[in-house]
Amino acid sequence: MEVDDLELVDRARAGDAGAFGTLVVRYQRKVYAVALGIVKDPDLAWDVAQDAFVRVHQNLATFRSDSSFSTWVLRIATHISIDAVRKERRSLKDDVADVAESALFDGAEGILSTALGTNPQETALRRELTDRITDALAQLPEAHRTILVLREVEGLSYEELAERLGIPKGTVMSRLFHARKKMQALLLRYAGLTPRPGRAAAEDA
């Protein structure tokens, strides 16, 4: 039977290297996935994931068992990922989202769901778009990448996002919405589906 995370944490605190190694193996891919979503570069994501586990080890004594170990590890990984992106950005031009804000209400709604069909798991287009979605994510600004990853991969609630990102719930909702719309606009472009011009204006009138 698999040993409980908290039990492994206790053993690792007591100096059991094997227990800590088990925790690393258990969460390495999840931590890497979160880091990759935020920092974009696979090698940087690898380094960030390693740093995250080193920091986890350094802070084992402060971990309180009233929260889950996975939440704690991913929180640390997110912090390091955001720091890494901000460090890189000092020397590089900020990533530019080439989806205009005006595209948020551009009449494209419904195109993706129609194209993907009612059983999205099985369509070839869904597979194709899943392969491209990390490219799409990489084109979003850091704040949008981060909030999408925290929501979609870590599964944080609005409340947790507000706390983690230090923004009010209303901002969480609107930032997520903008991030999603930009992502969907990029997916539409990858799929060769373009919104019908003028429809939004007609509906909003």
Tell me which residues touch other proteins (CB under 8 A).
14-18, 20-21, 24-25, 28-30, 32-34, 36-37, 42, 46, 49-50, 53-54, 57, 105, 109-114, 116, 120, 126, 129-131, 133-134, 137, 148-149, 152-153, 157-159, 173-174, 176-177, 180, 183-184, 187, 200, 203-204
DSSP string for residues in 105-151: GSS-TTHHHHHH-S-GGG-HHHHHHHHHHHHHHHTS-HHHHHHHHHH
Nearer to other proteins, 17 or 91 (CB): 17
Nearest distance in Å: CB 91, other proteins:
25
Cβ distance 174 to 97 under 8 Å? no
Shortest distance, position 84 Cβ to other proteins, whole Å? 16
CB burial of 173-190 (b: ≥16 within 10 Å; e: otherwise) equals: eebbebbbbbbbbbbbeb
Smallest distance, Å, CB 175 to other proteins? 9
Question: Is the Cβ of residue 88 or residue 162 nearer to other proteins in the bound state?
Answer: 162
**Phi, psi of 162, deg, nearest 5:** -60, -45
Rounded Cα–Cα distance for residues 145 and 1 (Å): 37
Q: Which is nearer to other proteins, 133 or 167 (CB)?
A: 133
- Minimum CB separation of residue 126 from other proteins in Å reads 7
